[in-house]
Amino acid sequence: MTIDAHHHLWRYTPQEYGWIDDTMQLLRRDFLPADLKSAMRSAGVDGTIAVQARQTLEETRWLLDLADENDEIRGVTGWAPIAGPEFPGVMEEFDGRGKLKALRHVIQGERDENYILREDFNSGVRALEGSGLVYEILIYERHLPQTIEFVDRHPNQLFVLDHLAKPLIAGGVMEPWAMQMGELGKRENVWCKVSGMVTEADWRAWTPETLKPYMDVAVEAFGPQRLMAGSDWPVCLVACSYERWWQVLREYFSSFSQQEQERIFGENAAELYDLAAS
Percent share of the chain, pLDDT over 70: 99
Q: Is the torsion defined by CA of 266, 277, 222, 167 positive or negative? A: positive
pTM attached to this predicted model: 0.96
Is pLDDT of 223 > 80? yes
pLDDT (mean) for 171-176: 98
Which amino acid is residue 104, in one-letter code?
A: R
pLDDT at 208 over 70: yes
CATH of 3-277, one of 3.40.640.10, 3.20.20.140, 1.20.1050.10, 3.30.50.10: 3.20.20.140
Q: Please report the pLDDT score of residue 278 as a whole number.
A: 62
Q: Which amino acid, residue 16?
A: E
Beta bridge mates, 47: 3
Contacting residues for 161 by C-beta, under 8 A, at least 6 apart: 136, 137, 139, 147, 184, 190, 191, 192, 193
Return the pLDDT at 277. 65
83 close to 118: Cβ distance less than 8 angstroms: yes
Residues facing residue 3 across a β-bridge: 47
Domain residue ranges in the chain: 3-277
